[in-house]
Amino acid sequence: MCGIVGYVGTTGGAAAVDVVLDGLSSLEYRGYDSAGLAVPTPSLAVHKAQGELAALEGIVPRGDLAGSLTGIGHTRWSTHGAPSDVNAHPHTDEAGRVAVVHNGIIENYQRLRDDLAEAGVVFRSETDTEVVPHLIRRYLDRGVSPEAAFRRAIDQLEGSYAIAAVFEGSETVYAARQDSPLVVGFGETGTYLASDVPAFIEHTDRVCYLENGDVVRLTADGAVVTDSAGNPVDRPTETVAWDPEDAEKSGYDHYMLKEIHEQPTALRQCLRGRIDDLEGTVTLEDINGLDHDGPVQFVACGTSYHAALFGAERLRRNGMAAQAFLASEYTTDRIPVDAETLVVGVTQSGETADTLRALREAARTGATTLAVTNTVGSSAARECDHALYIRAGPEIGVAATKTFASQQLTLALLAAKLVDSSNRTALEALRDIPGQVQTVLDTSDARAVAEEFVDADGFFFIGRGYHYPVALEGALKMKEITYRHAEGFAAGELKHGPLALVTEDTPVFAVVTGDGEGARKTIGNVAEVAAREAPIVAVTDGGSDVTRYTDYVLEIPTTDDFTGSVLAATQLQLVSYWLANRLGRSIDKPRNLAKCVTVE
């Protein structure tokens, strides 16, 4: 989603314009359609532009702004108003005394806008954000201090927001948070503010995470955090375990390819210390206090929802009642949930708005809540009763890859803890996954397969059981980064309608492992497709005769169905990557998409 950067430096420190632009560059992975910045000294200067950050960098007069040690910046993902220079942030009041950047949605903005317009305010943009600087100006005109004006304006807002503001002539940044992330960084030569740690990780790893209702005043000497009433609150300072080099491409052409190849390392990190080889048991210290034997409900969005489907399937196969729900469709007024229910929110960022809403709604019923996330200190991790970390490390590419694999593995470990962690064969299979993913990466023919389908307009992906979520995820990756139409289906559903769309120009990817009943039925579905002369790609471990019906094969090591789903997902990630690369797509920053979706 939108990204915020703020900075107040000490005398002799880095120029604000450089820190802000570098920070915005580090947040590009979140997705955006315009960018802008403001520096308040010696006079307020605002520069913004539609398009990628390069467009902003091309118009910012760095030399003229080199003396300013304070600034805010923003990358926008449009909600109210189309992408344009005018709708880009920061927004100012009419007199140019205050500049504001904002993530989220102000739900009562129309009423506020109407009131301000009736009072004579002329709006320049179509955004909900522009009401904020005009509200602040209203209070400044009444003689109150900048901080008081900021607070009074914030008090009038309803909805979700992370807001930062600077005032002309002042070396201070004010910010507030409600349901949209903000983190403060403490460096040797200044204080930093951002939506996410990568914006300033090259400067400091000492951070504090703001919570809902917090208001913070940043100066060169540090930050003062208060609640909505102005009372000081203590937010602990933590050290972030990120190496700045983790957020670099390390010689790869794209972050996505780098992160696909980081999966063996990420999976080893996920497993480290969690499987006791001597005892043959799972130990999850993150959630030692969780003891649950009732129903489990997963809530998630996008790729995380596909991982949640794995988690639910894993639990059901071990005898525990479990369901996966799209978080945006989850409501406790029609989904039975009570104090006996464990509600698991699967969210890479820990800030996904739909998932957070679902978790909060579940918590109000008395249900136990668990966040499965990659981000320490995220909203989900702080608000849930328990948090289980997937340990994937930084993921910059918008299309999730290593976080998906790490979610799959983490949820398998969770299932082992909740049901039975003494199945040595199953645990050994989990422990072998990182090495098997490496084998896939070393031997994959995905690039050659992708070359065969450069002209294809649409793709189908099919699978059964654990492989059904793989089919959904394979289709999602194809859509996200190639912009080609793709659909994933439970293999048996293809004949109930979608088969009408299958032609000789519709490549079908079928995930088939082993030679059990599921494999045999899927082969029957593949034969139905072959009869329509569609090109077929089998992702298989060779345990069946599916290849007799297929045109291309992507091999994975022989293993069980669950492990095979992780390996198959890796092959499909590579196919999508190489096809998108061949088509010249913006792989790390696909159009219209955001890494962290903080609006419902």
Active site amino acids: 2, 595
Amino acid letter, 252: Y
Sign of CA dihedral 108, 113, 114, 118: positive
Distance of CA 28 to the CA centre of its chain: 12
DSSP string, 167-218: ETT---EEEEEEBS--EEEEETTEEEEESSGGGTTTT--EEEE--TT-EEEE
Strands 342-347 and 296-300: parallel
- For the beta sheet containing 536-540, the strands, ordered from the edge strand earlier in sequence to the opposite edge, are 485-490, 458-463, 508-512, 536-540, 552-555
**Do 572 and 537 meet the contact criterion of CB atoms below 8 Å apart?**
no
550 CB-contact burial (10 Å; exposed 0-12 / middle 13-18 / buried 19+):
buried
Strands (E) across 190-295 are located at 190-194, 206-209, 215-219, 222-226, 238-239, 275-276, 281-282
SS3 326: strand
- Residue 174 bridge partners (DSSP): 165, 217
Tell me 232's DSSP state. B
d(CA 516, CA 537): 20
**Do 110 and 118 meet the contact criterion of CB atoms below 8 Å apart?**
no
591 CB-contact burial (10 Å; exposed 0-12 / middle 13-18 / buried 19+):
exposed
Residue among 303, 480, 284 at smallest CA distance from 391: 284
d(CA 438, CA 435): 5
d(CA 335, CA 297): 10
d(CA 525, CA 171): 66
> Which value, in Å, is the radius of gyration of the alpha carbons in the chain?
25
Apex CA 52: angle with CA 48 and CA 55, to 5°?
Answer: 55
Residue among 361, 364, 381 at smallest CA distance from 372: 381
Apex CA 204: angle with CA 401 and CA 234, to 5°?
Answer: 100
Which letter, b or e, does each residue of 2-41 get, where b requires 16 or more Cβ atoms within 10 Å of its Cβ? bbbbbbbbbeebbbbbebbbbbbbbbbbbbbbbbbbbbbb
DSSP string, 83-122: S-TTTSSPEE-TTS-EEEEEEEEETTHHHHHHHHHHTTPP
Phi, psi (5° rounding) for residue 191?
-120, 140
